[in-house]
A = this chain, B = another copy of it.
Amino acid sequence: MSHLHLGLLFNSPGNDPAAPQRPSDLGYYAETTRLLERARFDFVMVADVAFQDRVHPQPPRPEPITLFSALAALTSHIGLVPTLSTSFTAPFNLARQVLSLDNLSAGRAAWNVVTSSAGADNFGDTPLPPHSERYRRALEHVEVVRKLWDSWEDDAIIQQPGQRPCADPARVHPIDHRGEFYQVAGPLNAARSPQGHPVLFQAGSSEDGKAFAAHFAEAIYTAQHHIPEARRFRDDVHAQARRLGRNPAHIKILPGLSTVIGESDAAARQLNERILEGFGSDIWAALKAQLGGIELGDLDLDRPLPLERLPEVLSIEGRQSRYALFRQFAVQQRWPLRQLLELQGGSAGHGRVVGSPEQVAGHIEQWFRQGASDGFIVMPGQGADGARLFAEQVVPILQKRGLFRRDYASDTLRGHLGLPIPHSRYAAPLERAIR
Protein backbone atom coordinates (compact mmCIF):
# COMPACT_ATOMS: atom_id res chain seq x y z
CA MET A 1 0.00 0.00 0.00
CA SER A 2 1.28 3.44 -0.83
CA HIS A 3 1.70 6.05 1.88
CA LEU A 4 -0.78 8.74 2.71
CA HIS A 5 0.13 12.36 2.03
CA LEU A 6 0.21 15.17 4.56
CA GLY A 7 0.29 18.90 4.05
CA LEU A 8 -0.22 21.77 6.44
CA LEU A 9 -2.29 24.87 5.77
CA PHE A 10 -1.04 27.87 7.70
CA ASN A 11 -3.81 29.53 9.70
CA SER A 12 -4.79 33.03 8.72
CA PRO A 13 -3.05 35.27 11.28
CA GLY A 14 -6.39 36.51 12.62
CA ASN A 15 -7.30 32.93 13.63
CA ASP A 16 -3.99 32.07 15.21
CA PRO A 17 -2.85 33.07 18.71
CA ALA A 18 0.71 32.07 17.76
CA ALA A 19 0.80 34.21 14.61
CA PRO A 20 3.37 37.00 14.65
CA GLN A 21 2.30 40.62 14.89
CA ARG A 22 3.91 41.40 11.56
CA PRO A 23 2.13 38.82 9.40
CA SER A 24 5.13 38.32 7.16
CA ASP A 25 7.62 37.80 10.00
CA LEU A 26 9.63 34.99 8.58
CA GLY A 27 10.68 33.35 11.85
CA TYR A 28 7.29 31.89 12.72
CA TYR A 29 6.76 30.38 9.28
CA ALA A 30 10.36 29.17 8.98
CA GLU A 31 10.31 27.36 12.34
CA THR A 32 7.02 25.64 11.63
CA THR A 33 8.07 24.62 8.12
CA ARG A 34 11.38 23.17 9.31
CA LEU A 35 9.53 21.25 12.03
CA LEU A 36 7.21 19.76 9.40
CA GLU A 37 10.14 18.95 7.13
CA ARG A 38 11.72 16.98 9.98
CA ALA A 39 8.36 15.14 10.25
CA ARG A 40 8.56 14.39 6.48
CA PHE A 41 5.41 16.30 5.53
CA ASP A 42 4.71 16.46 1.79
CA PHE A 43 4.11 20.23 1.78
CA VAL A 44 3.06 23.44 3.47
CA MET A 45 0.42 25.70 1.97
CA VAL A 46 -1.12 29.16 2.48
CA ALA A 47 -4.59 30.29 1.48
CA ASP A 48 -4.94 33.77 0.05
CA VAL A 49 -7.29 36.59 -0.84
CA ALA A 50 -6.54 39.75 -2.80
CA PHE A 51 -8.48 42.24 -0.70
CA GLN A 52 -8.89 43.55 2.79
CA ASP A 53 -12.22 44.09 4.53
CA ARG A 54 -12.78 47.87 4.65
CA VAL A 55 -14.93 47.84 7.79
CA HIS A 56 -13.45 44.93 9.73
CA PRO A 57 -9.83 44.73 8.56
CA GLN A 58 -8.02 41.53 9.53
CA PRO A 59 -4.29 41.08 10.08
CA PRO A 60 -3.16 40.40 6.51
CA ARG A 61 -2.12 36.95 5.41
CA PRO A 62 1.46 36.70 4.18
CA GLU A 63 1.81 37.12 0.42
CA PRO A 64 2.31 33.56 -0.90
CA ILE A 65 5.04 34.00 -3.55
CA THR A 66 7.36 36.04 -1.35
CA LEU A 67 6.77 33.86 1.72
CA PHE A 68 7.47 30.59 -0.07
CA SER A 69 10.49 31.94 -1.95
CA ALA A 70 11.99 32.82 1.42
CA LEU A 71 11.07 29.40 2.82
CA ALA A 72 12.61 27.72 -0.25
CA ALA A 73 15.98 29.12 0.83
CA LEU A 74 15.61 27.70 4.34
CA THR A 75 14.42 24.16 3.55
CA SER A 76 15.54 21.30 1.33
CA HIS A 77 12.72 18.79 0.80
CA ILE A 78 9.27 19.96 1.83
CA GLY A 79 6.86 21.10 -0.92
CA LEU A 80 5.69 24.73 -1.12
CA VAL A 81 2.10 25.43 -2.19
CA PRO A 82 1.13 29.08 -2.75
CA THR A 83 -2.51 29.95 -3.49
CA LEU A 84 -2.90 32.37 -6.40
CA SER A 85 -6.01 33.60 -8.17
CA THR A 86 -6.70 33.29 -11.88
CA SER A 87 -8.94 36.37 -11.68
CA PHE A 88 -6.30 38.90 -10.65
CA THR A 89 -3.09 37.70 -12.30
CA ALA A 90 -1.69 37.77 -15.84
CA PRO A 91 -0.87 34.20 -16.89
CA PHE A 92 2.63 35.27 -17.99
CA ASN A 93 3.55 36.76 -14.61
CA LEU A 94 2.01 33.90 -12.67
CA ALA A 95 3.68 31.23 -14.81
CA ARG A 96 7.05 32.93 -14.42
CA GLN A 97 6.89 33.48 -10.66
CA VAL A 98 5.66 29.98 -9.82
CA LEU A 99 8.20 28.37 -12.16
CA SER A 100 10.93 30.53 -10.66
CA LEU A 101 9.87 29.37 -7.19
CA ASP A 102 10.05 25.83 -8.55
CA ASN A 103 13.59 26.41 -9.79
CA LEU A 104 14.77 28.18 -6.63
CA SER A 105 13.47 25.25 -4.57
CA ALA A 106 14.89 22.67 -7.00
CA GLY A 107 11.46 21.25 -7.88
CA ARG A 108 9.29 21.71 -4.78
CA ALA A 109 6.67 24.23 -5.91
CA ALA A 110 2.97 23.98 -6.69
CA TRP A 111 0.22 26.38 -7.63
CA ASN A 112 -3.05 26.11 -5.73
CA VAL A 113 -5.47 27.47 -8.33
CA VAL A 114 -8.40 29.56 -7.07
CA THR A 115 -10.76 31.84 -8.96
CA SER A 116 -11.57 34.36 -6.16
CA SER A 117 -14.99 35.62 -5.20
CA ALA A 118 -14.05 39.11 -3.99
CA GLY A 119 -11.48 41.82 -4.52
CA ALA A 120 -12.28 42.93 -8.08
CA ASP A 121 -12.42 46.60 -7.02
CA ASN A 122 -8.70 46.48 -6.33
CA PHE A 123 -8.11 45.68 -10.00
CA GLY A 124 -10.21 48.15 -11.94
CA ASP A 125 -13.82 48.90 -12.66
CA THR A 126 -15.02 45.52 -13.92
CA PRO A 127 -16.81 43.25 -11.44
CA LEU A 128 -15.95 39.56 -11.36
CA PRO A 129 -17.82 37.52 -13.96
CA PRO A 130 -20.51 35.07 -12.75
CA HIS A 131 -19.38 31.79 -11.10
CA SER A 132 -19.47 29.64 -14.23
CA GLU A 133 -17.76 32.18 -16.52
CA ARG A 134 -15.13 32.63 -13.83
CA TYR A 135 -14.35 28.93 -14.14
CA ARG A 136 -14.30 29.03 -17.95
CA ARG A 137 -11.85 31.89 -17.80
CA ALA A 138 -9.82 30.10 -15.13
CA LEU A 139 -9.58 26.98 -17.29
CA GLU A 140 -8.08 29.02 -20.11
CA HIS A 141 -5.74 30.81 -17.67
CA VAL A 142 -4.40 27.47 -16.42
CA GLU A 143 -4.02 26.21 -19.99
CA VAL A 144 -1.94 29.29 -20.94
CA VAL A 145 0.24 28.81 -17.86
CA ARG A 146 0.85 25.16 -18.76
CA LYS A 147 1.75 26.09 -22.34
CA LEU A 148 4.23 28.65 -21.01
CA TRP A 149 5.71 26.04 -18.68
CA ASP A 150 6.19 23.85 -21.76
CA SER A 151 7.82 26.61 -23.80
CA TRP A 152 11.34 25.70 -22.64
CA GLU A 153 12.24 22.05 -23.13
CA ASP A 154 14.63 20.22 -20.84
CA ASP A 155 18.27 21.02 -21.62
CA ALA A 156 17.36 24.18 -23.56
CA ILE A 157 20.20 26.00 -21.79
CA ILE A 158 23.67 24.99 -22.87
CA GLN A 159 26.74 25.75 -20.88
CA GLN A 160 30.36 24.86 -21.53
CA PRO A 161 32.74 25.36 -18.59
CA GLY A 162 34.01 28.94 -18.54
CA GLN A 163 31.61 30.02 -21.29
CA ARG A 164 28.60 32.23 -20.94
CA PRO A 165 25.45 30.04 -20.90
CA CYS A 166 23.38 30.19 -24.05
CA ALA A 167 19.97 28.91 -25.15
CA ASP A 168 19.27 26.37 -27.89
CA PRO A 169 16.68 28.08 -30.15
CA ALA A 170 15.38 24.66 -31.29
CA ARG A 171 14.28 23.93 -27.74
CA VAL A 172 12.57 27.25 -26.93
CA HIS A 173 9.05 27.69 -28.32
CA PRO A 174 6.58 30.54 -28.70
CA ILE A 175 3.07 29.47 -27.63
CA ASP A 176 1.05 31.98 -29.71
CA HIS A 177 -2.06 31.40 -27.62
CA ARG A 178 -5.16 33.18 -28.94
CA GLY A 179 -8.19 32.19 -26.88
CA GLU A 180 -11.52 33.55 -25.71
CA PHE A 181 -10.00 35.51 -22.80
CA TYR A 182 -6.22 35.52 -23.25
CA GLN A 183 -3.71 36.33 -26.01
CA VAL A 184 -0.19 35.37 -25.04
CA ALA A 185 2.77 35.07 -27.43
CA GLY A 186 5.51 33.49 -25.30
CA PRO A 187 7.98 31.91 -24.91
CA LEU A 188 8.17 32.26 -21.14
CA ASN A 189 11.11 34.12 -19.64
CA ALA A 190 11.95 31.21 -17.30
CA ALA A 191 13.40 27.77 -17.98
CA ARG A 192 12.11 24.37 -16.96
CA SER A 193 12.42 23.05 -13.41
CA PRO A 194 13.75 19.70 -12.13
CA GLN A 195 10.19 18.39 -11.73
CA GLY A 196 9.04 19.55 -15.18
CA HIS A 197 6.03 21.64 -14.11
CA PRO A 198 5.07 22.89 -10.68
CA VAL A 199 2.29 20.65 -9.27
CA LEU A 200 -1.25 21.92 -9.86
CA PHE A 201 -3.48 22.03 -6.77
CA GLN A 202 -7.09 23.05 -6.87
CA ALA A 203 -9.37 24.24 -4.08
CA GLY A 204 -13.15 24.56 -4.28
CA SER A 205 -15.57 21.65 -4.46
CA SER A 206 -18.66 23.06 -6.19
CA GLU A 207 -19.90 21.27 -9.34
CA ASP A 208 -18.10 23.87 -11.46
CA GLY A 209 -15.01 23.47 -9.30
CA LYS A 210 -15.07 19.67 -9.56
CA ALA A 211 -15.30 19.76 -13.36
CA PHE A 212 -12.52 22.34 -13.41
CA ALA A 213 -10.34 20.12 -11.20
CA ALA A 214 -11.00 17.04 -13.34
CA HIS A 215 -9.31 18.81 -16.26
CA PHE A 216 -5.93 19.44 -14.68
CA ALA A 217 -5.73 19.20 -10.86
CA GLU A 218 -3.08 16.87 -9.48
CA ALA A 219 -4.11 17.48 -5.88
CA ILE A 220 -7.48 18.70 -4.59
CA TYR A 221 -8.00 20.54 -1.32
CA THR A 222 -11.63 19.86 -0.40
CA ALA A 223 -13.99 20.17 2.59
CA GLN A 224 -15.39 16.74 3.54
CA HIS A 225 -17.14 15.74 6.77
CA HIS A 226 -18.20 12.10 6.34
CA ILE A 227 -16.50 9.08 4.80
CA PRO A 228 -19.37 8.05 2.47
CA GLU A 229 -19.65 11.56 1.00
CA ALA A 230 -15.90 11.88 0.68
CA ARG A 231 -15.78 8.56 -1.19
CA ARG A 232 -18.53 9.73 -3.53
CA PHE A 233 -16.62 12.98 -4.12
CA ARG A 234 -13.42 11.07 -4.87
CA ASP A 235 -15.19 8.61 -7.16
CA ASP A 236 -16.89 11.43 -9.00
CA VAL A 237 -13.64 13.35 -9.61
CA HIS A 238 -11.94 10.12 -10.72
CA ALA A 239 -14.76 9.31 -13.15
CA GLN A 240 -14.75 12.81 -14.64
CA ALA A 241 -10.96 12.72 -15.02
CA ARG A 242 -11.10 9.27 -16.64
CA ARG A 243 -13.62 10.57 -19.20
CA LEU A 244 -11.08 13.31 -20.00
CA GLY A 245 -8.41 10.67 -20.60
CA ARG A 246 -6.56 11.22 -17.33
CA ASN A 247 -5.22 8.59 -14.92
CA PRO A 248 -7.17 8.97 -11.64
CA ALA A 249 -4.12 7.77 -9.69
CA HIS A 250 -2.53 11.08 -10.61
CA ILE A 251 -5.15 13.08 -8.71
CA LYS A 252 -4.64 13.17 -4.95
CA ILE A 253 -7.75 14.02 -2.91
CA LEU A 254 -6.70 15.84 0.27
CA PRO A 255 -9.52 17.06 2.53
CA GLY A 256 -8.77 19.79 5.04
CA LEU A 257 -8.69 18.49 8.61
CA SER A 258 -8.86 20.85 11.55
CA THR A 259 -7.12 19.23 14.52
CA VAL A 260 -7.27 19.84 18.26
CA ILE A 261 -4.85 17.52 20.04
CA GLY A 262 -4.71 16.93 23.80
CA GLU A 263 -3.00 14.42 26.09
CA SER A 264 -6.32 12.62 26.44
CA ASP A 265 -9.71 12.74 24.80
CA ALA A 266 -11.05 14.78 27.74
CA ALA A 267 -8.14 17.24 27.68
CA ALA A 268 -8.62 17.76 23.95
CA ARG A 269 -12.34 18.41 24.39
CA GLN A 270 -11.68 20.97 27.10
CA LEU A 271 -9.12 22.70 24.92
CA ASN A 272 -11.54 22.71 22.01
CA GLU A 273 -14.16 24.49 24.15
CA ARG A 274 -11.62 27.16 25.05
CA ILE A 275 -10.58 27.62 21.43
CA LEU A 276 -14.16 28.01 20.22
CA GLU A 277 -14.95 30.49 22.98
CA GLY A 278 -11.96 32.51 21.77
CA PHE A 279 -13.84 33.18 18.55
CA GLY A 280 -15.98 35.98 19.89
CA SER A 281 -18.80 37.86 18.27
CA ASP A 282 -16.57 39.26 15.52
CA ILE A 283 -16.80 35.87 13.87
CA TRP A 284 -20.28 36.72 12.66
CA ALA A 285 -18.91 39.66 10.72
CA ALA A 286 -16.15 37.50 9.32
CA LEU A 287 -18.66 34.85 8.25
CA LYS A 288 -20.76 37.35 6.38
CA ALA A 289 -17.65 38.58 4.60
CA GLN A 290 -16.69 35.00 3.75
CA LEU A 291 -20.06 34.05 2.34
CA GLY A 292 -20.50 37.17 0.28
CA GLY A 293 -24.13 37.20 -0.81
CA ILE A 294 -25.77 36.06 2.43
CA GLU A 295 -27.50 38.64 4.67
CA LEU A 296 -29.09 37.36 7.85
CA GLY A 297 -29.35 40.43 10.02
CA ASP A 298 -29.64 40.19 13.81
CA LEU A 299 -30.44 36.62 14.74
CA ASP A 300 -30.43 34.72 18.03
CA LEU A 301 -27.10 32.89 18.23
CA ASP A 302 -28.59 30.05 20.28
CA ARG A 303 -31.44 29.11 17.97
CA PRO A 304 -31.51 27.39 14.58
CA LEU A 305 -31.66 29.67 11.57
CA PRO A 306 -35.02 30.48 9.99
CA LEU A 307 -34.67 28.37 6.84
CA GLU A 308 -36.66 30.65 4.57
CA ARG A 309 -33.88 33.22 4.88
CA LEU A 310 -31.16 30.93 3.58
CA PRO A 311 -30.53 31.45 -0.15
CA GLU A 312 -30.23 28.48 -2.50
CA VAL A 313 -26.69 27.23 -3.11
CA LEU A 314 -26.60 28.07 -6.80
CA SER A 315 -27.63 31.68 -6.18
CA ILE A 316 -24.42 32.28 -4.23
CA GLU A 317 -21.65 33.93 -6.23
CA GLY A 318 -19.10 33.52 -3.43
CA ARG A 319 -17.78 30.24 -2.12
CA GLN A 320 -20.50 27.87 -3.24
CA SER A 321 -19.10 24.68 -1.76
CA ARG A 322 -18.45 26.29 1.60
CA TYR A 323 -21.94 27.77 1.66
CA ALA A 324 -23.45 24.42 0.66
CA LEU A 325 -21.86 22.86 3.72
CA PHE A 326 -23.09 25.63 5.98
CA ARG A 327 -26.59 25.29 4.55
CA GLN A 328 -26.55 21.52 4.92
CA PHE A 329 -25.79 21.71 8.64
CA ALA A 330 -28.34 24.49 9.06
CA VAL A 331 -31.12 22.64 7.23
CA GLN A 332 -30.49 18.96 7.91
CA GLN A 333 -29.01 19.10 11.40
CA ARG A 334 -30.87 22.24 12.53
CA TRP A 335 -27.70 23.42 14.27
CA PRO A 336 -28.03 26.67 16.22
CA LEU A 337 -26.29 29.64 14.65
CA ARG A 338 -23.49 29.54 17.25
CA GLN A 339 -22.53 26.02 16.26
CA LEU A 340 -22.63 26.91 12.59
CA LEU A 341 -20.34 29.82 13.27
CA GLU A 342 -17.94 27.56 15.11
CA LEU A 343 -17.85 25.28 12.11
CA GLN A 344 -16.87 28.28 10.00
CA GLY A 345 -14.56 29.96 12.48
CA GLY A 346 -12.90 26.98 14.12
CA SER A 347 -12.45 24.83 11.04
CA ALA A 348 -13.07 27.24 8.15
CA GLY A 349 -15.82 24.84 7.04
CA HIS A 350 -13.60 21.77 7.10
CA GLY A 351 -13.77 18.51 9.05
CA ARG A 352 -12.56 18.66 12.63
CA VAL A 353 -11.03 15.98 14.82
CA VAL A 354 -10.64 16.54 18.56
CA GLY A 355 -8.77 13.98 20.65
CA SER A 356 -5.55 12.35 21.81
CA PRO A 357 -2.71 11.73 19.30
CA GLU A 358 -3.93 8.10 18.98
CA GLN A 359 -7.48 9.25 18.24
CA VAL A 360 -6.30 11.74 15.61
CA ALA A 361 -4.09 9.10 13.98
CA GLY A 362 -6.99 6.63 14.11
CA HIS A 363 -9.31 9.09 12.34
CA ILE A 364 -6.75 9.62 9.59
CA GLU A 365 -6.10 5.89 9.20
CA GLN A 366 -9.81 5.11 8.93
CA TRP A 367 -10.42 7.69 6.17
CA PHE A 368 -7.32 6.60 4.26
CA ARG A 369 -7.97 2.84 4.50
CA GLN A 370 -11.59 3.27 3.45
CA GLY A 371 -10.59 5.15 0.31
CA ALA A 372 -12.13 8.44 1.41
CA SER A 373 -8.92 10.39 0.79
CA ASP A 374 -5.28 10.13 -0.26
CA GLY A 375 -4.21 12.02 2.84
CA PHE A 376 -5.05 15.31 4.55
CA ILE A 377 -4.26 18.97 4.64
CA VAL A 378 -3.86 19.57 8.35
CA MET A 379 -5.27 22.84 9.71
CA PRO A 380 -4.02 22.93 13.30
CA GLY A 381 -6.59 24.43 15.67
CA GLN A 382 -3.86 25.43 18.10
CA GLY A 383 -1.59 27.55 15.89
CA ALA A 384 2.09 26.66 16.05
CA ASP A 385 1.46 24.38 19.06
CA GLY A 386 -0.96 22.32 17.01
CA ALA A 387 1.57 21.88 14.21
CA ARG A 388 4.21 20.79 16.74
CA LEU A 389 1.88 18.31 18.48
CA PHE A 390 0.87 16.83 15.14
CA ALA A 391 4.48 16.53 13.95
CA GLU A 392 5.86 15.15 17.19
CA GLN A 393 2.98 12.98 18.43
CA VAL A 394 0.65 12.03 15.57
CA VAL A 395 3.21 11.47 12.79
CA PRO A 396 5.22 8.83 14.74
CA ILE A 397 2.03 6.80 15.23
CA LEU A 398 1.25 6.99 11.50
CA GLN A 399 4.83 5.94 10.74
CA LYS A 400 4.64 3.01 13.17
CA ARG A 401 1.46 1.83 11.44
CA GLY A 402 3.23 1.94 8.06
CA LEU A 403 0.96 4.71 6.80
CA PHE A 404 3.48 7.52 6.45
CA ARG A 405 7.08 7.79 5.22
CA ARG A 406 9.96 7.72 7.70
CA ASP A 407 12.22 9.51 5.26
CA TYR A 408 11.86 11.36 1.99
CA ALA A 409 12.35 9.03 -0.99
CA SER A 410 12.53 11.96 -3.41
CA ASP A 411 13.77 15.55 -3.64
CA THR A 412 10.76 17.01 -5.46
CA LEU A 413 7.11 17.59 -4.58
CA ARG A 414 6.07 15.48 -7.58
CA GLY A 415 8.23 12.71 -6.17
CA HIS A 416 6.63 12.96 -2.70
CA LEU A 417 3.13 12.84 -4.21
CA GLY A 418 3.91 10.07 -6.73
CA LEU A 419 3.04 12.26 -9.72
CA PRO A 420 4.61 11.89 -13.17
CA ILE A 421 6.85 14.56 -14.74
CA PRO A 422 4.96 16.22 -17.62
CA HIS A 423 6.93 16.46 -20.87
CA SER A 424 6.90 19.57 -23.01
CA ARG A 425 4.12 19.45 -25.60
CA TYR A 426 6.51 21.20 -27.97
CA ALA A 427 9.28 18.58 -27.76
CA ALA A 428 9.75 16.23 -30.74
CA PRO A 429 7.52 13.13 -30.32
CA LEU A 430 10.48 10.73 -30.54
CA GLU A 431 12.31 12.63 -27.86
CA ARG A 432 9.20 12.61 -25.68
CA ALA A 433 8.94 8.86 -26.14
CA ILE A 434 12.47 8.00 -25.07
CA ARG A 435 12.52 10.25 -22.06
| A191 and B23 contacting across the interface, CB-CB below 8 Å | yes
| B74 and A191 contacting across the interface, CB-CB below 8 Å | no
Q: Which residue of B lies closest to A11 (CB)?
A: B164
A97 vs chain B, min Cβ distance (A): 6
User: Counting CB contacts under 8 A, is A136 at the interface?
Assistant: no
For A415, the chain B residues whose CB sits under 8 A away are none
| B185 and A122 contacting across the interface, CB-CB below 8 Å | yes
For A72, the chain B residues whose CB sits under 8 A away are 26, 70
- Interface digits, A48-72 against B, CB 8 Å rule (1 contact, 0 not)? 0111101111111111011101111
For A418, the chain B residues whose CB sits under 8 A away are none
Given contacts A74-B73, A92-B50, A164-B19, contact A157 B59 (CB under 8 A): yes
User: Counting CB contacts under 8 A, is A104 at the interface?
Assistant: yes
For A60, the chain B residues whose CB sits under 8 A away are 188-191
Given contacts A52-B187, A157-B59, contact A165 B97 (CB under 8 A): no
| A165 and B59 contacting across the interface, CB-CB below 8 Å | yes
| A185 and B121 contacting across the interface, CB-CB below 8 Å | yes
User: Counting CB contacts under 8 A, is A269 at the interface?
Assistant: no
User: Counting CB contacts under 8 A, is A103 at the interface?
Assistant: yes
| A73 and B165 contacting across the interface, CB-CB below 8 Å | no
For A184, the chain B residues whose CB sits under 8 A away are 121-124
| A52 and B172 contacting across the interface, CB-CB below 8 Å | yes
| B124 and A182 contacting across the interface, CB-CB below 8 Å | yes
User: Counting CB contacts under 8 A, is A410 at the interface?
Assistant: no
For A186, the chain B residues whose CB sits under 8 A away are 52, 122
Q: Which of A51, A63, A174 has the most CB of B within 10 A?
A: A63
A242 vs chain B, min Cβ distance (A): 35
Which secondary structure dominates chain A's binding surface?
loop
User: Counting CB contacts under 8 A, is A228 at the interface?
Assistant: no
Alpha-carbon distance A30/B73, docked complex (angstroms): 9
- Interface digits, A182-211 against B, CB 8 Å rule (1 contact, 0 not)? 111111111100000000000000000000
Chain A contact patch, size range: 35 or more
A65 vs chain B, min Cβ distance (A): 6
User: Counting CB contacts under 8 A, is A22 at the interface?
Assistant: yes
Q: Which of A15, A71, A122, A278 has the most CB of B within 10 A?
A: A122
Alpha-carbon distance A67/B105, docked complex (angstroms): 11
| A16 and B61 contacting across the interface, CB-CB below 8 Å | no
User: Counting CB contacts under 8 A, is A159 at the interface?
Assistant: yes
For A188, the chain B residues whose CB sits under 8 A away are 52, 60
| B124 and A183 contacting across the interface, CB-CB below 8 Å | yes
A425 vs chain B, min Cβ distance (A): 17
| A164 and B17 contacting across the interface, CB-CB below 8 Å | yes
A125 vs chain B, min Cβ distance (A): 5
| A104 and B70 contacting across the interface, CB-CB below 8 Å | yes
A–B Cβ pairs within 8 angstroms, 27 of them = A13-B164, A14-B165, A17-B162, A21-B165, A23-B190, A23-B191, A24-B190, A26-B72, A52-B187, A52-B189, A54-B187, A56-B169, A57-B156, A57-B167, A57-B172, A59-B157, A62-B100, A63-B97, A63-B189, A65-B97, A66-B97, A69-B69, A71-B73, A88-B90, A88-B93, A124-B183, A124-B184
- 6 further interface pairs, Cβ-Cβ under 8 Å (given A52-B151, A60-B191): A17-B163, A23-B165, A26-B73, A51-B185, A57-B172, A63-B97
